[in-house]
Amino acid sequence: MRMPFSEFITSGDLKFIIVFIIFTVFAIVHFIKKLQSRDNKQIVQLLNTKINNAAFWILISSILSLLLGFMHSFYFIGKAGGVAPNLIFQGVSYALITPVLGVSLYIVCRILSGILNSINNK
């Protein structure tokens, strides 16, 4: 049984998803600029640096969301006064949604950074 993609996105922590969207749009805009100025190596390197910075902050935000999600889950497990397996598994699964999305976007940004690098280095 799979979790539907719409539920996957809506079950994540909204503030982190907004941060991911902002940094991903930032990376895509700089990737488009990189495509437009592929002849100038200095500009391409500058734009790669900006894309890599966006990817770095996506990764850091996803790690932070993981830690906060676990803290949130364990807080409610402690408040429940007992350990129910369904409470643990549901809390951990929701705590992992945003980091999975963040790592996926990090990989996308790193791919965007790497495109055209081999062409410009030749």
Alpha-carbon span 101 to 98, nearest angstrom: 5
Q: Whole-model pTM?
A: 0.82
Give the mean pLDDT of the chain.
84
Alpha-carbon span 62 to 27, nearest angstrom: 16
Per-residue pLDDT averaged across 61-71, rounded?
Answer: 89
Q: Is the pLDDT of residue 67 over 80?
A: yes
Per-residue pLDDT averaged across 41-66, rounded?
Answer: 93
pLDDT of residue 75: 81
* Residue type (1 letter), 57: W
pLDDT of residue 9: 63
In which band, very low, low, confident or very high, does the pLDDT at 98 lie, cut at 50, 70 and 90? confident
The more confident residue out of 45 and 86 is 45
Give the percent of the chain with pLDDT over 70: 86
